[in-house]
Chains A and B, each alone.
Chain A
Amino acid sequence: MPSWFNTWFNRDGWSKSIIAIPYFWLVFFFLIPFAIVVVMSFAERTATSPPVGFLPDFPYVTFENYGRLVGDWVYIRAYSTSIINAFMATILCLIVGYPMALGITRVNKSWRNILLMLVILPFWTSFLLRVYAWIGLMGSNSWFNKLLTAIVNSVLPADMAFRNIPMMNSNFAVVLVLVYSYLPFMILPLYANLEKLDTTLNEAAMDLGSRPWQVFKDVTLPLSIPGIIAGGLLVFIPASGELVIPSLVGNASDPMIGRVINDEFLTARHWPMASAVAVALLLLLVVPLMAYNHFEAKAQAGGKP
């Protein structure tokens, strides 16, 4: 080894090499592939293999794919279905997950670990298996469907009673299974956030005259916003691009965007179009995120006189 190398390596080579690993990962497995997808989204479909080609003359690229994206009702509808389903699932995960996460922080240490185990326990069986189980549950002859039907019928007048509730192949089914599948991704970051909160703050609020509900509203809830956002993103982002759940339990005539990308890529073999759909999805998800970060940073910097 040359001596300059040894000197460099001993001085800060170690830390630099270690920091470099995640950067390499990001560059090779995210940035470069993403750049390829972006470039491809400006190409045309050709009969070659791969089925991608650029125009022979200046400007060599075409915006036709993006034109179709905003012009064709199919895509707009798929985007809105995705966003609405993912949003509903995120809100429901929050409503179900928040009390659970808060509850786990309020029990003693040994119970805490058991409850956290239970939260991640479903991961130990195959995801597909669990979705198939839901298909069984939602089917019109299942006990679950019968139970729901009975509950609904008990509040409806007799002449409007259902024989069963058509749950399968609907956005309702998609949202239900999304909530079930992604709930741990909401609970875990929320728990990590809530567990760190100083309970003497609750006591201080109570000491100053606040009843428990008000303590929650004034202290716990605002201080858990970072956890809500982290959990919300962890559910919303993968849910909006979800392919498997809508394919298995969703309505094929009202597809989510993951399904559209899949169909463009494999069935229509229109790689450029699939790329354009994917790029647009990413922008749709990343732009609000960056805006949030921007305002958050501003709010942090503010308050100083």
Chain B
Amino acid sequence: MAESGGSAPFIRIENVTKKFGTFAAVDNVSLDIGKGELFALLGGSGCGKTTLLRMLAGFEMPSAGRIFIDGQDMAGIAPYDRPVNMMFQSYALFPHMSVEKNVGYGLKHERNMTAGDRRDRVKQMLDLVKLTELAGRKPHQLSGGQRQRVALARALARQPKLLLLDEPLGALDKKLREHTQFEIMNIQDRTGITFVVVTHDQEEAMTLASRIAVMDRGVIRQVGTPTSIYEYPASKFVAGFIGSINMFEGKVTAATKGEVEADVPELGGKVLLASDAVAEKGAAITVAVRPEKIAISRARPKGGNAFPGTVKDLGYFGKDSLYRVKMASGTVVSVNSVNAIRVREDQRVAQWEDKVWLSFEPSSALLLTQ
């Protein structure tokens, strides 16, 4: 992906593989990350996110491949010599040191700082994470969220060129999590430090990151901006991993430049897709449509891509409603519609067991081949 800017990338991961025994936790991964990016590694449990991060920090050596940070080959460079700081999944605060000592720990290795400089920096960091009042406490006297902020301040204190965050918000409640997400984005904005954030929460990745890499079993499946990952997933795996999506098997019946017509028995008819993908007539494809891109109506809408079905389930969530509609083929389609106008229950678009029509724009449907 060329979105990281024209000049040489800040981090270059070249064909990196990490094997534990014969098992490849990270399998031939190549990735470029630009300076000042907030980059997210997203993937399910055990897909190798932490392992990749630990290789950047220097705690694991790649079995094959090379890693460059700021143009420098990291092979054989110990963690304490890398311009990198890491915030650990478990925070790893020193239990015998006060908050202040924890935050200042990395600074004692900064030769060109005076004692006064160090004190100022610690104070500045504590201000940043709003922990000035708790400077004298030990980690066991803090709440989970406070500990997490100490860990963040400690990792930031040395002003590294690269900051690695391993599931930084995993232990926080929803509200504190959202608050801290904004804090992290703020800090990133002000300091210009390059961030690599590991998460298994796709919403978190979408909110935080300027770019996301989706990982699966040690392999990177797609890299892109949140929008491109969500709207233009390259594979069924990525489409299914990010948000929810309806997927139907089909066969191409006609293909012109920019437009593909496919027969989709599950929906009970022909589907028109706006797609640049080169599809040959007769090829098996997958048609994917996100629930919020499907319109639901009682009357048959004008135009193509309209299919009849029966409402089997209905969930009301306040700002939107979720319908589960059963098609003639038996396939169930999820539809998400925003409750843009206020109506009483009996005035809803559809009720249980109602016959409805589902429709979507040709440009809203995705054509996936893998």
A208 at the B interface (CB under 8 A): yes
Shortest C-beta distance, A130 to chain B (Å), equals 38
Contact of A303 among B94, B105, B141 (CB under 8 A): B141
- Known contacts A200-B88, A223-B95; 4 further A-B pairs (Cβ under 8 A): A198-B90, A206-B78, A209-B106, A305-B134
B158 at the A interface (CB under 8 A): yes
Answer whether A204 and B92 are a contact pair too, CB < 8 Å, given A303-B136, A303-B137, A304-B137. yes
User: Could you tell me the distance between the alpha carbons of A227 and B109 in the complex, rounded to whole angstroms?
Assistant: 29
B96 at the A interface (CB under 8 A): yes
For B67-99 the 0/1 string (1 means CB < 8 A from A) is 000000000001110001110101011111010
19 CB contacts below 8 A, A to B, read A198-B90, A203-B88, A204-B88, A205-B105, A206-B78, A206-B80, A207-B59, A207-B80, A207-B84, A207-B86, A208-B158, A209-B106, A210-B109, A211-B80, A218-B94, A223-B95, A303-B138, A304-B137, A304-B141
Answer whether A204 and B94 are a contact pair too, CB < 8 Å, given A211-B80, A303-B136. yes
For B120-146 the 0/1 string (1 means CB < 8 A from A) is 000000000000011011100100000
Answer whether A206 and B137 are a contact pair too, CB < 8 Å, given A200-B90, A222-B96, A223-B96. no
User: Could you tell me the distance between the alpha carbons of A86 and B56 in the complex, rounded to whole angstroms?
Assistant: 50
For B212-238 the 0/1 string (1 means CB < 8 A from A) is 000000000000000000000000000
- Give the residues in chain B near A198, CB-CB below 8 Å: 90, 92
B367 at the A interface (CB under 8 A): no
A88 at the B interface (CB under 8 A): no
User: Could you tell me the distance between the alpha carbons of A208 and B133 in the complex, rounded to whole angstroms?
Assistant: 24
Question: What is B's interface to A at a CB cutoff of 8 Å?
Answer: 57, 59, 78-80, 84-86, 88, 90, 92-96, 98, 105-106, 109-110, 133-134, 136-138, 141, 154, 158
- Give the residues in chain A near B93, CB-CB below 8 Å: 204
A148 at the B interface (CB under 8 A): no
User: Could you tell me the distance between the alpha carbons of A211 and B106 in the complex, rounded to whole angstroms?
Assistant: 12
For A201-238 the 0/1 string (1 means CB < 8 A from B) is 10111111111000000110011000000000000000
Answer whether A207 and B137 are a contact pair too, CB < 8 Å, given A222-B96, A223-B96. no
- Give the residues in chain A near B57, CB-CB below 8 Å: 207
- Give the residues in chain A near B133, CB-CB below 8 Å: 305
User: Could you tell me the distance between the alpha carbons of A210 and B80 in the complex, rounded to whole angstroms?
Assistant: 6
- Give the residues in chain B near A209, CB-CB below 8 Å: 80, 106, 109-110, 158
Shortest C-beta distance, B274 to chain A (Å), equals 49
For A96-125 the 0/1 string (1 means CB < 8 A from B) is 000000000000000000000000000000
Q: Is the CB of B80 within 8 A of A203?
A: no
User: Could you tell me the distance between the alpha carbons of A222 and B59 in the complex, rounded to whole angstroms?
Assistant: 23
Shortest C-beta distance, A103 to chain B (Å), equals 21
Residue of A nearest to B154 (CB): A208
Contact of B79 among A206, A222, A303 (CB under 8 A): A206
Shortest C-beta distance, B246 to chain A (Å), equals 42
Residue of B nearest to A199 (CB): B92
User: Could you tell me the distance between the alpha carbons of A204 and B97 in the complex, rounded to whole angstroms?
Assistant: 13
Shortest C-beta distance, B158 to chain A (Å), equals 7
- Give the residues in chain B near A305, CB-CB below 8 Å: 133-134, 136-137
Interfacial residues of chain A within 46-81, with CB under 8 A of chain B in the complex: none
Residue of B nearest to A225 (CB): B96
Interfacial residues of chain A within 149-192, with CB under 8 A of chain B in the complex: none
User: Could you tell me the distance between the alpha carbons of A209 and B57 in the complex, rounded to whole angstroms?
Assistant: 11
Q: Is the CB of B59 within 8 A of A203?
A: yes
Closest 9 CB pairs of A and B: A208-B106, A209-B109, A204-B92, A200-B92, A206-B79, A209-B80, A207-B86, A222-B96, A303-B138
Q: Is the CB of B79 within 8 A of A207?
A: yes
User: Could you tell me the distance between the alpha carbons of A222 and B105 in the complex, rounded to whole angstroms?
Assistant: 15
- Give the residues in chain A near B106, CB-CB below 8 Å: 208-209
Contact of A201 among B59, B94, B137 (CB under 8 A): B94
User: Could you tell me the distance between the alpha carbons of A219 and B102 in the complex, rounded to whole angstroms?
Assistant: 11
Shortest C-beta distance, A301 to chain B (Å), equals 11
Answer whether A201 and B92 are a contact pair too, CB < 8 Å, given A207-B85, A208-B154, A210-B80. yes
